[in-house]
Amino acid sequence: MRDKKSWARLVCGAALAVALGAAAAAVSAQQGPPGGGGAGRGAPQPFTVHQLKPNVYWVEGGGGNSGVIVGNNGVIVVDAKTSAAGGKELIDDVAKITPKPITTVIITHSDGDHVNGLASFPKGLTIIAHENCKTEMQAAQGPAAAAIADYIPTRTVMKNTEDTTIEGVHLRLMHFAPAHTSGDLMVYLPDDKIMFTGDVVATQSPYPLIHAEKNGSSEGWITTLNGIIKVDVATYVPGHGDAQTKADLQKRVADTTARRDQIKALVAQNKSLDEVRQALNEPPPAQRGGGGAVGGGQAAMGPGGGAGAPGGGQAGARGGPGGGAGGPGGAPAGARGGPGGGGAPNFMDFTGVVYGEMKK
């Protein structure tokens, strides 16, 4: 009887290990390898093109979502995928939509899974980003950063709202506050009531993804979400995941505000981070790095180290050997990564991010 129970425990343990391994592999594949330029450790996501309007599309797969807006004489692309190969596939998909050339790329933020594909784009394009995003890209080091050194934004946005017309298309570029990063930029098409949000909205997590090492902010994220909810938008295209409605975002900001208030109240009681997690019935996050380099998936951009491998703490610690050089998407020089690394919390660890903010 004892042998049967032991065997049952062994089988259950093996099954749990397999399940956890599969979950970790899925996250790793989505986020990208540490310091690399590929789409992830698993098989790359297939590209799928979705049409929203006769001239507006979004393309999922190969990293963050991308937008394709066909104008009078050329095409505007929003975000460029994780790798040179992904960028090339995106360009090929655009060619299947229209023979018009890509003339403009708008970058929503500096994470590697949104910028590294620029390496395959024609040179001489107009590249638009928030000023803080440009600063992060200029500070980046490493092979992935070198590959896109000729694709630093040529035009920047500092105002909260900037209206512009490109290829005959009316666009409104919006920045409310530091949120996912300090340089988030939303791309709004007023005539079509469509907004590309970048990773300010990313549906793979119930709570926001905040790069503390890039001066992202949970309070700023709430400000930003409340701001874009007030805009006359019918369809929000997130940085990751399926298209969202206003009701989807309203629920997300309500849930996030409630969780942040819970964490704030527990910190006020002088609870440790572990005690906060216990009170929230939340297991410790996986010991992952703070995101890949501007070459990796959810990168923290800059000359600091790239992210550590899943399971490795001290991600990107000071860019030392084994840390991998951070690329666009890496933190400013010397920023440090994941839980246990002594620096910025893992960007996927909302509780850790908020706790760190409250303890400053």
Q: Give me the pLDDT at residue 43, please.
A: 52
User: DSSP secondary structure string, 49-115?
Assistant: EEEEETTEEEEESSSS-EEEEE-SSSEEEE---SSHHHHHHHHHHHHHH-SSPEEEEE-S---HHHH
In tens, the pLDDT along 244-294 reads 999 999 999 999 999 999 999 999 999 999 999 999 999 877 644 444 334
In tens, the pLDDT along 29-56 reads 333 322 233 333 345 578 999 999 999 9
C-beta of residue 211 within 8 angstroms of C-beta of residue 218: no
DSSP 8-class letter at 244: B
Q: Give me the pLDDT at residue 203, please.
A: 96
Task: Tell me the backbone φ, ψ of residue 60, rounded to 5 degrees.
Answer: -100, 160
Task: Tell me the backbone φ, ψ of residue 146, rounded to 5 degrees.
Answer: -60, -35
Q: Give me the pLDDT at residue 306, please.
A: 33
Q: How many CA atoms lie within 13 A of 342 on its CB side?
A: 4
> For residue 194, what is the enclosing H or E element?
strand 194-202
The angle at the Cα of 49, spanning 46 to 54, to the nearest 5 degrees, equals 175
| Residue 172 β-bridge partners | 163, 188
User: Given its phi and psi angles, is residue 198 left (phi above 0), alpha (psi -120 to 50 degrees) or beta?
Assistant: left
Q: How many CA atoms lie within 13 A of 350 on its CB side?
A: 25
Nearest residue to 128 (alpha-carbon basis) of 152, 159, 106: 106
Q: Give me the pLDDT at residue 343, please.
A: 66
Task: Give me the amino acid identity at 325.
Answer: A
Q: Give me the pLDDT at residue 123, please.
A: 95
Q: Which tokens go with 50?
A: 């979705």
Distance between CA atoms of residues 179 and 175, nearest Å: 9
Distance between CA atoms of residues 184 and 3, nearest Å: 58
Q: Give me the pLDDT at residue 44, please.
A: 57
C-beta of residue 305 within 8 angstroms of C-beta of residue 313: no
On whether the pTM is more than 0.85, the answer is: no
Q: Give me the pLDDT at residue 108, please.
A: 98
The residues of the chain scoring below 50 in pLDDT are 1-42, 287-342
Handedness of CA 309, 312, 315, 317 (dihedral sign): negative
Q: How many CA atoms lie within 13 A of 80 on its CB side?
A: 34
C-beta of residue 190 within 8 angstroms of C-beta of residue 232: yes
Q: Give me the pLDDT at residue 46, please.
A: 87
Nearest residue to 214 (alpha-carbon basis) of 146, 123, 158, 290: 290
Q: Give me the pLDDT at residue 285, please.
A: 72
Q: Give me the pLDDT at residue 254, please.
A: 98
